[in-house]
Amino acid sequence: MKLLRHGPRANPKPGLLDADGQVRDLSALIGDITPATLSPASLAALASVDASTLPVVAQGELQVPWTGMTKFIAIGLNYADHAAESNMPIPKEPIVFTKTLECAVGCNHDVVLPQGSVKSDWEVELGVVIGTRARYVAEDDALAHVAGYCVINDVSEREYQLERGGTWDKGKGCDTFGPIGPWLVTADEVGDVQNLGMWLDVNGQRMQTGNTATMIFNVAQIVSYLSRFMTLNPGDVITTGTPPGVGMGRKPAPVFLKAGDVMRLGIDQLGEQQQTVHAWNPARIDS
């Protein structure tokens, strides 16, 4: 299933995308797409419903496809060629940092540069959505804790991340720096999550091309690893690293985002996003 939430940010409606690309309303079945919705039993119950019996509705503004996440965890330098372009060593263990919950926005929401930003950058990434609580899980069992997958743009302010004391979180958690969606695609529909093509364009120019097959640490390893250090709750999301082609690594000189730029990105089977970049304006964040 492709689950989504659409409409006003203050009161979105739950829906699913059917095989014909139509939005079907789930409001008669569930009030919202919450952590409880992501349990295996709840997903199975939704999957058993004949989508053709649900009302077709016009798609409103797409929001984050579920609500109720307690953590937005990220993995850094998880593609060897991205580590190389960043002039950093290939990690021996996953590099873990956090993005704030406030950075999570819908897939086509504006990206608003923080005040004084001069080195904001793009990163297409695979998102992993937890469906059942994970605590000290083995790699062989890790994928059973995953409800599904999504596209994430891990927008990053490189000066804040790398030049302001070495705390990555400062450059990763700015408001609007975590577009998610368009959908949460359930794991059964994705198949082999370690063979998904991914790409990102800026102003129509291809910047990133990659495949999840080249991850250093795969999804099962990441979920198992994180569960040793924290409890992963239903609705929590993990963004798993980016392939090469970020602005920081462009040659002969880095290229960073500026107001008016348009990012377009996608992952096989998981859909596409598009964001327009704006200078600091709190009204665009809160709208």
3-state percent breakdown (helix, strand, coil) of the chain, nearest 5: 20, 30, 45
181-228 pLDDT per residue, tens: 999 999 999 999 999 999 999 999 999 999 999 999 999 999 999 999
Q: Are residues 250 and 187 in the same domain?
A: yes
Give the rounded percent of residues in the chain with a pLDDT score beyond 70. Answer: 100
Residue 164 lies in a domain: yes
Q: Are residues 27 and 126 in the same domain?
A: no
Cis amide prior to 114 (ω within 30 degrees): no
Q: Are residues 203 and 175 in the same domain?
A: yes
For residue 82, give every residue at least 6 positions away whose Cβ sits within 8 Å of its Cβ, in sequence order, or none. Answer: 241, 242, 243, 244, 246, 249
Judge whether residue 286 has pLDDT over 90: no
Q: How far apart are the C-alpha atoms of 105 and 98, rounded to whole Å?
A: 16
Helices (H) and strands (E) in the chain, counts: 8, 19
Q: Are residues 35 and 86 in the same domain?
A: no
pLDDT tier for residue 287 given thresholds of 50, 70 and 90: confident
Dmax over Cα atoms in the chain, in whole Å? 56
pTM of the model as a whole: 0.96
Cis amide prior to 282 (ω within 30 degrees): no
Q: Are residues 214 and 274 in the same domain?
A: yes
- DSSP annotation of 207 reads E
Domain that holds residue 261: 72-286
Q: How far apart are the C-alpha atoms of 79 and 126, rounded to whole Å?
A: 12
Give the burial class of 271: count Cβ atoms within 10 A of its Cβ; 0-12 exposed, 13-18 middle, 19 or more buried: buried
CATH classification at residue 168: 3.90.850.10
- The number of domains in the chain is 2
Q: Are residues 174 and 225 in the same domain?
A: yes
